[in-house]
Amino acid sequence: MTSSDFADVIVVGDGLIGLACARATAARGLSTCLIGRRRPGLASAAAAGFLAPTIDPAKGSALSFMLEARARYRSFIEELRAVSGHDLPFALDGILRLPATEREARAMAASGDKMSRWLSPAEVAELEPALDAPFGARFHAEDGMVDNQRLLRLLDEAIALGHIPRIEGDVRRVETAGSLAAVELEDGGRLRCRHLVLAGGAWQPLLSGLPRPIPVLPLRGQMMSLTGTPVMRPVFGFGGYVIPRPADRQVIVGSTSEAVRYTLGTTDAALNGFREVAARMVPALARADEVRTWSGLRPMTYDGLPILGPDPSHPAILYACGHSRNGILLAPLTGDVIASLAAGDAPAHDISPFSISRFPASASVMA
Ligand SMILES: Cc1cc2nc3c(=O)[nH]c(=O)nc-3n(C[C@H](O)[C@H](O)[C@H](O)COP(=O)(O)OP(=O)(O)OC[C@H]3O[C@@H](n4cnc5c(N)ncnc54)[C@H](O)[C@@H]3O)c2cc1C
């Protein structure tokens, strides 16, 4: 910060999105202050780590942005490695999608989807011998995964190594005053800035003083980890997924999508379901031990796309929230976009599908 109570950029929210934004704005030479207090249910730590823009893909320029986000990951991981000296489990060598029945297999095999291809049972067995895929599978060859928990730790470290000022605490209220913005902290302190980046995840709508309601809702996802890494690639099937965490010799199994407001926790029904899904896809997992169970809150918008860009009436406010099911994928590119906007440059990508203007200004927030 140039003085103790003013910064070019203040970022509210310390998940992957906030961290990526703070790093990118500081890298542009903008004085940056990151403010956040991690809450239980933080999505960035709870997530599975799919980098999967071609699974349930968006359309048009939103899809192009998601594909760019996937492409940006390699250089992002390289940058973090250069700063910290640490490697991160990350791969873009494909995701498999298994049909549950022969009928579903026929439909999947006939799909005209150009971003994936159909594999025979023998081809699946060659790629992933531990999978039970009697009908074959759809292969999304360019998608992949990252260990989001390690990524979060690495970004924390990068923020510290970059000497980016960081306040661990709650922002109670935001204000807009002329062309500037300000935040009020829980201890009553007040900081002003040229650009205020809102990256508060599922808790973003709860912040008071916002120029308009933010149509983001928490959507709980339950998760479980099991011992062993019988598969090298993530696999979807039977209403769930398995994703390897090779560095921990574990797999993660998930997930649910539950509108239960801010309630965290797991249920026996969901965990038993995960066990069934895992064992049907990878029989060896039927005997695996449970390591941990947890849940997290996805910051969902109605259309599943993020809210990214300036507030139409208060351009000092930059939205970087509502990343829904793709916030891990989108974090690096979101940082780039926010840094361009805060520096006064046009973003290199079309962000019009992500404008907050796509929602009615009076959209009620049911959180
Ligand atoms: C179970 C599950 C699985 C997922 N799987 C994937 C996946 O495979 N791939 C993928 O791309 N995405 C996935 N997601 C989605 C992804 O995790 C989120 O989109 C992304 O992490 C959102 O990041 P965020 O930084 O916006 O929010 P969060 O990580 O939730 O961070 C927000 C932070 O801001 C803080 N904060 C909020 N308000 C304030 C305030 N007023 N003052 C101070 N601090 C504040 C919060 O405490 C929190 O620490 C998954 C999510 C879940 C829950």
Per-residue pLDDT at 245: 97
Q: Which residues contact 178 (CB under 8 A, 6 or more apart)?
A: none
Number of continuous H segments (helices) and E segments (strands) in the chain: 8, 19
From the CB of 210, is ligand 1 less than 6 Å away?
A: no
From the CB of 273, is ligand 1 less than 6 Å away?
A: no
Per-residue pLDDT at 362: 67
State the closest ligand 1 atom to the C-alpha of 256, by its place in the atom list counted from 1.
1
Residue with CA nearest ligand 1 atom 20: 327
Q: Which residues contact 135 (CB under 8 A, 6 or more apart)?
A: 98, 99, 101, 102, 104, 105, 121
Cβ proximity of 262 and 173 under 8 Å: no
From the CB of 184, is ligand 1 less than 6 Å away?
A: no
Per-residue pLDDT at 363: 57
Ligand 1 center from residue 357 Cα (angstroms): 22
| H-type alpha helices, 221-356 | 268-281, 327-342
- Cα separations in angstroms, 340 against 25, 70, 295: 8, 19, 34
Cβ proximity of 199 and 15 under 8 Å: yes
State the closest ligand 1 atom to the C-alpha of 255, by its place in the atom list counted from 1.
1
Query: Would you list the domain boundaries of the chain?
Result: 6-68+149-216+302-358, 95-140, 217-300
Per-residue pLDDT at 360: 84
Ligand 1 center from residue 14 Cα (angstroms): 9
pTM, two decimals, is 0.97
Question: Which CATH superfamily hosts domain 6-68+149-216+302-358?
Answer: FAD/NAD(P)-binding domain (3.50.50.60)
Q: Which residues contact 4 (CB under 8 A, 6 or more apart)?
A: none
DSSP sequence for 43-103: HHHHS--EE-TTSS---HHHHHHHHHHHHHHHHHHHHHHHHH-----EE-S-EEE--SSHH
Q: Which residues contact 260 (CB under 8 A, 6 or more apart)?
A: 220
Tokens in use for 182?
Answer: 């300000």
DSSP state of 208: B
User: Which residues of the chain fall short of a pLDDT of 70?
Assistant: 1-4, 362-367
State the closest ligand 1 atom to the C-alpha of 38, by its place in the atom list counted from 1.
49
Per-residue pLDDT at 366: 43
Ligand 1 center from residue 16 Cα (angstroms): 7
CATH topology of domain 217-300: D-Amino Acid Oxidase; Chain A, domain 2 (3.30.9)
From the CB of 367, is ligand 1 less than 6 Å away?
A: no
From the CB of 155, is ligand 1 less than 6 Å away?
A: no
211: nearest Cα among 341, 304, 310, 339? 310
State the closest ligand 1 atom to the C-alpha of 145, by its place in the atom list counted from 1.
8
State the closest ligand 1 atom to the C-alpha of 37, by its place in the atom list counted from 1.
44
